[in-house]
Amino acid sequence: MTAKETPRGTEKRCPVSIVTDFGTADPYVGIMKGVMLTINSQAVLVDVSHDVSPGAIREGAFILGASWPFFPPGTVHLAVVDPGVGTGRAPVVLAAGGHFFVGPDNGLFTLLLDAFPGASAWRLEAGAYRLPRVSATFHGRDLFAPAAAWLSRGVPPSAFGSRIPSLVRLPRAVPEPIPGGLEGAICHVDRFGNLVTNIEAGVISRGRWTVRLAGETMALHRTYGDVASGRFLALIGSFGYLEVSVNGGSAAGRLGVGVGERVVLAQESQD
């Protein structure tokens, strides 16, 4: 395709998932939705989260990485956590795993890049796929929402601009082996106060394990109801990672810990 071609695609049903740090009180998300429906009236807009902490790229990356695999192939994922709006960071579209991802190149796509190292990305350059006037402070409205809507019409990502050889990847804390186990960290706290660690289910071999966190020691169980109400437990959570929870309560509240706290997974001695 030459640079002169500007394919328009056709209006059609296509899910567009949305992750932002815009909150739901201000009109920012509604404005992006209006922009998208103006371009593709058939787009199926799905809020994933707008409550990413302001400017928290790593948190946005986690939400995006956890949710996209459950959408149908061809879904467009619009992710805008963009503290560097209007500066040099590139606005991009990424094609990975049969899905499309639109947002700023600031590390938001780290989990995608980890999973699909060979994924292709393009810079959002073409004037045909943005609003006529692009502000310096709201690229979600002016660049990213229009790009997501044009993608949802079937415009190929290569039509948006030039290839970018590599995107920004945030360093990820990985669990470290220690004698008899692993030392990891809390990487997400959910609404229930469940503490999600960075220790993947796959690394936990058969055997009996205990988990130590903030002075508490708990056994590994299958689900919350396996312990009495109000008791601590560890389990493999729905994200596929080790979690620390309280049955019927908030582990985060009870332990007073949050993201970054160290957690130890240790195999019980066999004596």
Residues in touch with its own copies (CB under 8 A): 13, 15, 17, 19, 21-35, 37-38, 41-42, 44-52, 54-55, 63, 66-68, 70-72, 75, 83-87, 135-138, 141, 190-192, 222-226, 235-238, 248, 250
Question: Which is closer to its own copies, CB of 54 or CB of 180?
Answer: 54
Question: Which is closer to its own copies, CB of 71 or CB of 183?
Answer: 71
Question: Which is closer to its own copies, CB of 7 or CB of 15?
Answer: 15
Nearest-CA neighbor of 168 among 96, 91, 99? 91
CB of 117 to its own copies, least distance (A): 23
Question: Which is closer to its own copies, CB of 190 or CB of 200?
Answer: 190
* Single-letter code of the amino acid located at 180: G
CA atoms of 177 and 118, how far apart (whole Å): 29
Neighbouring residues of 212: CB distance < 8 A, sequence distance ≥ 6: 263, 264, 266
Structure tokens at 235: 């389990």
CA atoms of 29 and 47, how far apart (whole Å): 9
CB of 153 to its own copies, least distance (A): 14
CA distances from 228 to 3, 86, 223 (A): 64, 52, 11
Question: Which is closer to its own copies, CB of 3 or CB of 115?
Answer: 115
CB of 168 to its own copies, least distance (A): 15
CB of 166 to its own copies, least distance (A): 22
Q: Do residues 115 and 91 make contact, with C-beta atoms less than 8 angstroms apart?
A: no
Q: Using the 8-state DSSP alphabet, how is residue 4 labeled?
A: T
CB of 43 to its own copies, least distance (A): 9
Question: Which is closer to its own copies, CB of 213 or CB of 246?
Answer: 246
CB of 179 to its own copies, least distance (A): 30
Q: Do residues 66 and 37 make contact, with C-beta atoms less than 8 angstroms apart?
A: no
Query: Where are the alpha helices (H) located in 104-222, listed in sequence order?
Result: 110-115, 139, 145-152
CB of 3 to its own copies, least distance (A): 28
| CA dihedral for 242, 70, 9, 146, sign (positive or negative) | negative
Question: Which is closer to its own copies, CB of 73 or CB of 179?
Answer: 73
